[in-house]
Amino acid sequence: MIEIMRTNDPVVISFVESLLKEAGIAHFIADSNMSIMEGSLGVLARRIMVDGEREMEARQLLKDAGVEQELRS
């Protein structure tokens, strides 16, 4: 799995997760439990991971959806 995004914004996470699910791109939201354990202060960002074979497709999907500013290089 490859990290393509890191954010504290629950709206962005939900939106991206919905887009990836609809496109059939395997993904995983890492650090969700750590974010809850630290008290949801927003210190620890959650990472969105995708299947390495579909990384470029996922990146293009998110660019087309207008969230390219959140993408990691």
11 contacts 56 by C-beta, under 8 angstroms: no
pLDDT of residue 36: 55
pTM to 2 decimals? 0.82
pLDDT in tens, the chain (73 residues): 999 999 988 899 999 999 999 999 999 999 876 655 555 555 678 899 999 999 999 999 999 999 988 898 8
pLDDT of residue 23: 96
Residue 71 DSSP code: B
CATH topology of domain 2-70: Alpha-Beta Plaits (3.30.70)
Helix/strand/coil for 46: strand
The sign one gets for the Cα dihedral 55, 26, 31, 62 is positive
Instruction: Supply the pLDDT for residue 73.
Output: 81
